[in-house]
């Protein structure tokens, strides 16, 4: 049992933190030059030949930074379905993707190409029009595709459960990054803002909700990293852990943002402060694919309706 990251993985996290602190809206090419688009693409195709754990690190950091680029849709959603030549294009930065898994398509404003599910296959969509919709979270707009026809067959629709697991874990980790950043804003504010002659952080009515945010976000992070590992090694618990992680992390991030908005008072309620953007990303994550309650219904079915076996993951 070893629940630590390797020095190389820690380095990747540091690289991401440093880069994202200075580049709020990098181009796809810049992300490719960093090696992020090809993290899990085999070396012979121009990638780094790493795996989902490294991608998970990137999702936590890009979530925190509210990255406005199609990294989630390309890497978490479409990459597993792409044939080798198209994987190479992703690694080199020549292509970014999203997929229409339902009517609302994420990252449609920035993704170059679009896939869709038809029958037993996943295909590229050709000759369509895109309509980007007004979305609460301006850093990840949803859109709809209009018209179009099936182009190249990319992969098998049997990949969809894996794509779902990847998306749930990726968003769970994004949520951890979002929530943590919101908490840090509240801690910073409560440490310097004075009322009644003392910094407001000394009042337990202020500090205890923030301690609860910390506890909830750490639990969520543990669940998300567990799920990331399960997906990375294709463990038997990959489905249940990814559903659990997104349920826990989505809710934890939303609650952490709400507490932080409350802590910052009027400032937290302004358009100018970043908190509302974090909050909207958290809400978007919560709503993606299945809500916390829907995911918990899946977990409950696993625990209560299936055959009796060792349910302790």
Partner 1 sequence: MDLHDRKEEAAFRAELRSWLRENLPEELRGHRGGAARFEGLAPREWSRKLHEAGYAGLTWPAEYGGGGRSPTYQAIFLEELSRTEAPPHVGVIGLGMAGPTIIAHGTEEQKLRYLEKILSAEEIWCQGFSEPGAGSDLAGVRTSALLNGDRFVVDGQKVWSSFAHIADCCLLLARSDPASTRHEGLTYLIVDMHAPGVEVRPLRQITGEAEFNEIFFESAEIPAASVLGKIGGGWQVAMTTLLHERGTLGFALQAQLEVSVHRLVELARDRGATPLQRDAIAREWIELQALRYTNYRSLAQLERTGIPGPEGSIAKLVWSEANQRLTKLALELLGRDAPLAGDNAPYAGWWQHQQLRSRGNTIEAGTSEILRNIVAERILGLPRSR
Which 3 state secondary structure label does DSSP give 141? coil
Nearer to partner 1, 88 or 254 (CB): 254
Nearer to partner 1, 3 or 271 (CB): 3
> Quick check: 198 binds partner 1 (CB under 8 A)?
yes
Rg (CA), the chain: 20
Using CB under 8 A, which of the segments 104-112, 151-159, 268-276, 302-310 binds partner 1? 302-310
Question: Least distance (Å) from partner 1 to the CB of residue 192?
Answer: 9
Site string for partner 1, 68-97 (x = CB under 8 A): ------------------------------
Using CB under 8 A, which of the segments 79-87, 138-146, 220-228, 270-278 binds partner 1? 220-228
Nearer to partner 1, 86 or 168 (CB): 168
Cβ proximity of 231 and 165 under 8 Å:
yes
> Quick check: 52 binds partner 1 (CB under 8 A)?
no
Task: Report CA-CA distances (Å) from 74 to 80, 84, 143, 263, 311.
Answer: 9, 14, 15, 36, 34
Cβ-based neighbours of 160, under 8 Å, separated by 6 or more: 101, 117, 122
Which 3 state secondary structure label does DSSP give 117? strand
Nearer to partner 1, 30 or 235 (CB): 235
> Quick check: 210 binds partner 1 (CB under 8 A)?
yes
Region for residue 244 given its phi and psi (left: phi exceeds 0; alpha: psi -120 to 50; beta: otherwise): alpha
Q: Which of 45, 132, 150, 187 binds partner 1 (CB under 8 A)?
A: 187
| Assigned token pair, 43 | 């070396």
Across 245-256, b (16+ Cβ under 10 Å) vs e yields bbbbbbbbbbbb
Which 3 state secondary structure label does DSSP give 207? helix
> Quick check: 16 binds partner 1 (CB under 8 A)?
no
Q: Which of 24, 133, 215, 274 binds partner 1 (CB under 8 A)?
A: 215
Nearer to partner 1, 111 or 183 (CB): 183
Question: Least distance (Å) from partner 1 to the CB of residue 105?
Answer: 29
Cβ proximity of 130 and 143 under 8 Å:
yes
Q: How do strand 121-132 and strand 198-199 relate by DSSP bridges?
A: unpaired
Distance CA(193)–CA(203), nearest Å, equals 12
> Quick check: 8 binds partner 1 (CB under 8 A)?
no
Contacts with partner 1 by CB under 8 A lie at: 1-6, 53, 183, 187, 190-191, 198-199, 201-204, 207-208, 210-212, 214-215, 218-223, 225-226, 229, 235, 241, 244, 247-248, 293, 296-297, 299-300, 303-304, 308, 311-313
């Amino acid at each position: 049992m070893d629940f630590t990251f390797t020095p190389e993985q820690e380095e990747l996290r540091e690289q991401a933190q440093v880069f994202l602190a200075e580049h709020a809206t990098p181009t796809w090419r810049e992300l490719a030059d960093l090696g992020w688009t090809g993290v899990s693409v085999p070396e012979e195709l121009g990638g780094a030949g790493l795996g989902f754990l490294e991608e998970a690190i990137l999702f936590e950091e890009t979530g925190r930074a509210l990255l406005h680029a199609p990294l989630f849709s390309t890497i978490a959603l479409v990459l597993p379905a792409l044939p080798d030549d198209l994987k190479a294009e992703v690694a080199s930065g020549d292509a970014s993707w999203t997929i229409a898994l339902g009517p609302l398509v994420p990252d449609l404003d920035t993704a170059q190409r679009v896939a869709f599910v038809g029958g037993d296959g996943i295909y590229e969509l050709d000759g369509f029009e895109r309509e980007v919709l007004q979305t609460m979270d301006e850093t990840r707009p949803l859109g709809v595709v209009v018209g179009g026809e099936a182009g190249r067959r990319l992969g098998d629709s049997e990949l969809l459960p894996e794509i779902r697991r990847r998306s749930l874990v990726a968003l769970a980790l994004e949520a951890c990054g979002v929530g943590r950043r919101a908490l840090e804003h509240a801690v910073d504010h409560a440490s310097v803002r004075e009322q009644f002659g003392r910094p407001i952080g000394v009042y337990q009515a202020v500090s205890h909700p923030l301690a609860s945010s910390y506890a909830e976000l750490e639990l969520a992070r543990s669940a998300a990293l567990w799920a990331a590992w399960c997906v990375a090694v294709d463990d038997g618990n990959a489905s249940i852990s990814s559903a659990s992680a997104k349920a826990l992390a989505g809710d934890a991030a939303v609650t952490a943002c709400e507490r932080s908005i409350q802590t910052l008072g009027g400032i937290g309620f302004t358009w100018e402060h970043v908190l509302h953007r974090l909050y909207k990303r958290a809400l978007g994550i919560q709503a993606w694919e299945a809500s916390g309650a829907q995911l918990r219904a899946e977990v409950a079915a696993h625990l209560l309706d299936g055959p009796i076996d060792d349910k302790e993951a």
